[in-house]
Chain A
């Protein structure tokens, strides 16, 4: 499984915070597109000479929805504590309750916008004819 070229997320209006509608043909794509949506919301703008970086993330969760939110919060944590921004995601292994992935981006970059957390608000991963979709809400 690898990152896709086609962007499959959309920012939707939210009065107080930020929200994303995300689609994917399978769960791995849903995770990748959600991550891409998060990076888009974070507004990272690395300098031309910024140092590239790659990290491995792995996490477990009791269900798919928790996995999705935990995945996004893991990305936020990595970004904030390392002062890094990411723009590429590769899912290396995905099980119903676990994911391992490689994220790539740049060091010494602050995102353009601070996000406190991905929330569980109205969280339902829905199966459609094309795959999966979900609406995610972020506290800013």
Chain B
């Protein structure tokens, strides 16, 4: 296998500032680059990006066969595997590659937002009971599994139908599906493309939250930035809402692991030179490329089914605890977005419409007004762009724009990356101390692991305000609302 490791760190002096918040690494920076690479950043973010290998990884993505226009780093860019996290790259479908490193190990790690008609102050007396009910209903943490594995047939249906499988099983409603990216199902999914091992890993994990930075939160809308769009999304100040952040669990991790291995072995066959083994790829139209795409799509469907089942469990918890206190305690979908996926989309490139495989690795689709893939209810204002944050800063809702369609293949950031290692975060604060601090701020915490909680302390993360402001100022997505937690569940 021919590999060439990239040498040298990208410095600010290697970049050209093409717009106030846009820096470009020209294709001449390195011999194997096919297109330039662009970073959406202000000075603060650029400094942080120079601190790890994320810019080198971005340069590597610009070497992939079939890549068009430029590759992109969103303002939350940080070092990943293959692609940087916060990386976006589009390959021509006809002669380009697909890369599991451009999607990530947690395929369709994503986030869902539900809204209620309840005000935060009214729900506070019930928060303890509500969080306990949620913690019991939603299997959380490492090794979380449901009692009873799905049969092979049920799992195959789930892998090909995604959210729709869940709704058919009674875990939700049609409006949930309509308010999910891709309607909760990538049709290219084939259960047969998912290995038995991946199925083994996932069969008892449907409807489970997992651990790490995944969470379930009850939040309150603390700020509205755009009243018109907030209204279109059904959001109002003081409103109780629910965030669900998780992915495809062990099934997706196994699919990625296997694809990274397989594609490394066939790189020579397709005469692909890999600057990084984690950037392993294959032509989209090759057998390996198609098998991965089908398995990736199935994994994405698994994640959507997972978030749909969890949605149902959350509704049940609300019903159980709030019955008799709130006549309307229903939760409606705002939206559900992926942060790690490769999609076939049409975009304008140099005035021509092209079919592209758009990789978003730690990046969110941000389609603007009028786009046919945006649900009808939001088509006038653009799709919701959901950005989960840490327990301190809170999270954001933005709206996609047509400017994003022009500049970033309709993409935006997905969150803020870590600034502190897990071990340093644990040295900084214990789980118990953090829980106490949060409880002093009237945030109810349920955590499967105190060490895990300490690792997710707000100080461990970059400043999300900064990231979101760059996205907003660059016109990629518009700030709509901000939320803060009332209750947090961590695995």
Binding site for B on A (CB under 8 A): 11, 13-16, 18, 43, 62, 66, 69-70, 73, 77, 80-81, 83, 110-114, 116-117, 119-121, 123, 137, 139-140
Contact = CB atoms under 8 A, between A and B. Distances in A.
Given A111-B143, A113-B142, A16 B452 contact: no
A139 B252 CA distance: 13
Contacts of A117: 105, 253, 256-257
Given A14-B421, A121-B278, A137-B81, 10 more contacts: A13-B424, A15-B78, A16-B418, A73-B257, A81-B250, A111-B143, A112-B142, A112-B451, A116-B105, A117-B257
B250 to A, nearest CB: 5
Contacts of B420: 15
Contacts of B52: 15
Nearest to A123: B277
A16 B417 contact: yes
Please report whether the interface of chain A is mostly helix, strand, loop or mixed according to DSSP.
loop
Interface string B93-120: 0000000000001100000000000000
10 contacts: A16-B78, A16-B85, A112-B449, A113-B211, A113-B452, A114-B142, A116-B256, A120-B277, A121-B81, A121-B277
A120 B78 contact: no
B143 A15 contact: no
A119 B57 CA distance: 15
A15 B79 contact: yes
Contacts of A77: 197, 200-201, 254
B389 interface: no
Interface in B274-327: 276-278
B201 A81 contact: yes
B260 A80 contact: no
B28 interface: no
A140 B52 CA distance: 18
CB-based closest 3 A-B pairs? A110-B143, A120-B277, A116-B253
B382 interface: no
Given A15-B418, A77-B201, A116 B106 contact: yes
Contacts of B256: 116-117
Given A112-B451, A114-B212, A116-B106, A80 B421 contact: no
A121 to B, nearest CB: 5
Contact of B142 (A14, A111, A120, A123): A111
B182 to A, nearest CB: 23
Given A112-B142, A113-B211, A139 B81 contact: yes
A11 B422 CA distance: 11
Contacts of A66: 261, 264
Contacts of A43: 451
A78 B440 CA distance: 42
A69 B78 CA distance: 23
A127 to B, nearest CB: 18
A80 B424 contact: no
Contacts of A119: 81, 105, 260, 278
Nearest to B265: A62
B212 A140 contact: yes
Nearest to B279: A120
B430 to A, nearest CB: 15
B13 interface: no
Interface in B219-250: 250
A81 B200 contact: yes
Interface in B141-163: 141-143, 145
A18, A113, A123 — most chain B CB neighbours (10 Å)? A113
A119 B81 CA distance: 8
A11, A77, A112, A114 — most chain B CB neighbours (10 Å)? A114
Nearest to A42: B142
Interface string B10-29: 00000000000000000000
Interface string B26-53: 0000000000000000000000000010
B394 interface: no
B433 to A, nearest CB: 19
B485 interface: no
B421 A13 contact: yes
B256 to A, nearest CB: 7
B421 A120 contact: no
A11 B145 CA distance: 29
Nearest to B145: A83
A125 B260 CA distance: 19
B211 A114 contact: yes
A16, A83, A121, A139 — most chain B CB neighbours (10 Å)? A16
B210 interface: yes
A79 B365 CA distance: 35
Contacts of B407: none
Given A80-B250, A112-B449, A120 B106 contact: no
